[in-house]
Amino acid sequence: MSLLPLLFDDSWMAPSYARREAPRRNLWDEVIQPLALVNSLLESPEYLRSLNSLQQQTSSQMVLDKDKFHANFDVQHFKPEEITIKVTGENTITVEAKHEEKQDEHGQIYRHFLRKYVLPKNCDMSRLESKLSSDGVLSITAPTVGDKVDRNIPISQTGKPARSVENKAENAQQKSKM
């Protein structure tokens, strides 16, 4: 038996022994059955409900505009006493939430998250606020300190000369001596 056919085998054609041992899969097994499975999952109301809730969740988002810094966190699985917000550093806030193991219908649960944000220098850290909504969304807001605004300065007239007549005479004498 020659080894040349095995060495120079065309990759487009399967060898005859492979066709006998592994029969070809038909279109139903390869394409249509997986599509039917995906369709059945998408049509089930439980699956659609979870997809809709994922789209509506605010989870964690941050917005920084010219008026304020604003951050939202989904902390619905934590009690208010399990959440801490600290000012660490000059313009850094740390949000941490954790709870120890809790019993669930599936077993034990341990949750923990830690977020650190460096706020811009123009945020007023003394006016930092946090609010927890009834649906478990924690909102943190820090207003920005207004930039120095252009303002008009009024000009008042005194009615008196800034330099007196004597100063003018002295200046004239000094110029003549030089």
* Residue 111 confidence (pLDDT): 87
Average pLDDT estimate for 14-26: 52
Range 172-178 average pLDDT: 69
Is the pLDDT confidence value at 52 over 60?
no
pLDDT at res. 1: 55
Stretch 83-100: mean pLDDT: 89
pLDDT score, position 86: 92
* 140 closest CA partner among 95, 92, 80: 95
Among 59, 63, 78, smallest CA distance to 144 is for 63
The CATH class of 58-143 is mainly beta
pLDDT tens digits, one per residue of 22-49: 555 555 555 566 666 666 666 655 555 5
Rg (CA), the chain: 38
pLDDT at position 124 is 86
Closest CA to 115 of 90, 135, 140: 140
Contacts of 81 (CB under 8 A, 6+ apart): none
Q: Model pTM greater than 0.75?
A: no
Compute CA 62 distance to the chain's CA centroid, rounded to the nearest angstrom. 5
| pLDDT at residue 126, as a whole number | 87
pLDDT single digits (tens) 107-152: 888 888 899 988 888 888 888 899 988 888 889 999 888 755 566 7
DSSP element (H, E) containing 176: helix 165-177
Question: How is the chain split into domains, by residue range?
Answer: 58-143
List the structure tokens of 89: 């550093």
The whole-angstrom separation of Cα 148 and Cα 154 is: 18
Instruction: Report the pLDDT value the prediction gives residue 99, as an integer from 0 to 100.
Output: 84
How is residue 157 written in tokens? Answer: 């007239």
State pLDDT tens for residues 64-81: 888 888 989 888 888 888
Mean pLDDT of 152-161: 69
Question: What element of type H or E holds 49?
Answer: helix 45-56
Query: Which pLDDT belongs to residue 127?
Result: 87
pLDDT at 35: 62
